Amino acid sequence: MNNKVYSNMLIFSGFLWAVNGIVLSIITNLNIYENSGVRISFFSPIIFAGLNDLFAGVLLLLFNIISGKIREICEVLKTKNGKIIIFAALIGGPIGQCMYLMGLSMAPVSYVMPVSALCPVFGMILSSFILKERINLKTQILIFGCVIGTVILSYTKPVGNYPKFYFGILFSLLAALSWGIEATLITFCTKGNVDEKIALNIREIVSGSFILFIILPLLRIFDSVFIVFDNKVAILYLFFAGLFAVLSYSFFYKGMKVLGVSKGMALNSTFSMWAVVLSVIFLSVPLTLNLLLGSIIVTGCVICLTLNN
């Protein structure tokens, strides 16, 4: 396949990730835990994050078993790359995914996704400090553009009941930081001859298991997981959210492996615009000037930024 096919694959990955965000946003607004107390209700997005990743991991595991790759998963886990994937999964899942779901529970998906698309920006800023990579003037201008776009996007609260809107934006920024680190580590491993579906399977299983069996017991809300299974609508949504996540990540990892991190993240970051379009169509989110202008600036600057580097 030529590079155009992989580019389209990455754009489609962004579309699927936006669909996943729409579905997860619907789940967090089902108010399943509204009668379970303030603490459980507040942390309920973390439950959904764990179930989303575990559902995705199980779907991938079934695929890999059918494809005869189960032994390969065990072999990769013993290697250095396997350990790096596990570390990346703990950053992108328990930290990134949980922050992302917390953001979705406090702000509309059309605002959360453009902010979370800033992950390449954080990656470049971190590399300038940790790896001592120089940031040229054009990159500095584009990073400043991302900041301006984010301020425009989040300056005015959207119409509706969003009392914790700015906390939602903050959680989205933390998700972007985590995913920027994760993508770089995963790409390093897949370029080292680790099959992207194997890497993704390990990522989802580790992330989902850690959230459900480590974080939730520490928060003393593990028993609340079973409330979800009493809601057939929520389970159906979680199944489709997991399926869209698997497809999106599969195309994302494959595209990054061939085209590299920068171009991969640039084309995938179109999910921020897809999220705005889908939110307006399916969730009846008002298309305000701030939302439209801010999301266009952020998406445009992120694409130019990653392609420039």
156: Cβ contacts below 8 Å, ≥ 6 apart? 288, 290
Q: Summarize the confidence of residues 215-244 as an average pLDDT.
A: 92
**Higher per-residue confidence, 195 vs 43:** 43
296: Cβ contacts below 8 Å, ≥ 6 apart? 149, 273
- Contact predicate 294/42, CB 8 Å: no
Q: What pLDDT, on a 0 to 100 scale, did the predictor assign at position 48?
A: 93
120: Cβ contacts below 8 Å, ≥ 6 apart? 180, 262, 265, 266, 269, 302, 305, 306
Structure-derived torsion over alpha carbons of residues 282, 288, 294, 298, reported in degrees to the nearest 10: 10
**10 Å Cβ neighbour count for 130?**
8
Q: What pLDDT, on a 0 to 100 scale, did the predictor assign at position 28?
A: 86
How many angstroms separate the CA atoms of 251 and 100, rounded?
20
- Say what percent of the chain tops pLDDT 90: 34
Q: Exposed/middle/buried for 233, CB within 10 Å: 0-12, 13-18, 19+? A: exposed
Tokens at residue 208, please? 């989902």
Give yes or no for residue 184 having a pLDDT over 80.
Answer: no
How many angstroms separate the CA atoms of 120 and 208, rounded?
24
pTM: 0.84
Give yes or no for residue 292 having a pLDDT over 70.
Answer: yes
Q: What pLDDT, on a 0 to 100 scale, did the predictor assign at position 287?
A: 86
Q: Exposed/middle/buried for 99, CB within 10 Å: 0-12, 13-18, 19+? A: buried
Q: Summarize the confidence of residues 189-209 as an average pLDDT.
A: 84
pLDDT digits (tens, 9 = 90+) for 88-139: 999 988 999 899 999 999 999 888 988 888 877 776 776 666 556 677 788 7
Of the CA atoms within 13 Å of residue 111, those in its CB half-sphere come to: 32
Q: What pLDDT, on a 0 to 100 scale, did the predictor assign at position 16?
A: 95
Q: What are the start-end ranges of the E strands in 58-203?
A: none
Give yes or no for residue 306 having a pLDDT over 90.
Answer: no
Q: What pLDDT, on a 0 to 100 scale, did the predictor assign at position 131?
A: 52
Backbone angles phi, psi at 78, to 5 degrees: -85, -15
Least confident of 64-78, 103-117, 129-143, 172-186: 129-143
Q: Summarize the confidence of residues 5-14 as an average pLDDT.
A: 88
The angle formed by the CA atoms of residues 154, 157 and 161, to the nearest 5 degrees, is: 135
Q: What pLDDT, on a 0 to 100 scale, did the predictor assign at position 299?
A: 84
pLDDT digits (tens, 9 = 90+) for 33-44: 888 888 888 899
Tokens at residue 20, please? 């996943």
171 — pLDDT class (breaks 50, 70, 90): very high
How many angstroms separate the CA atoms of 166 and 162, rounded?
9
Mean pLDDT over each residue of the chain, to the nearest integer? 86
- Say what percent of the chain tops pLDDT 70: 94
Give yes or no for residue 260 having a pLDDT over 70.
Answer: yes
How many angstroms separate the CA atoms of 257 and 261, rounded?
8
Give yes or no for residue 217 having a pLDDT over 60.
Answer: yes
H or E element at residue 243: helix 232-259
How many angstroms separate the CA atoms of 245 and 238, rounded?
10
